[in-house]
Amino acid sequence: MAENLCGGLPPDICEQLSKEEQFIKIKVEKRRYGKEVTIIEGIREVMILNLKK
């Protein structure tokens, strides 16, 4: 799928460009009983799987 978006660019360059264009929002919210929860928005599921490796 990434090849379709990047045209003739090599896959590694295409992946780097998609990382640079990503906007990530991290915030901490207080939930029930005063617990603090970290919420991360804007990361695609594919990138999360790559972080695990």
pLDDT at 53: 59
Lowest mean pLDDT: which of 13-17, 21-25, 49-53? 49-53
Q: How far apart are CA 35 and CA 40, in angstroms?
A: 16
List the chain domain ranges.
24-53
Per residue in 29-53, pLDDT (tens digit) is 999 999 999 998 887 776 667 666 5
pLDDT at 51: 67
Percent of all residues in the chain with a pLDDT value above 90, rounded to a whole number: 26
Q: How far apart are CA 49 and CA 53, in angstroms?
A: 7
Residue found by looking up tokens 């990530």 in the block? 24
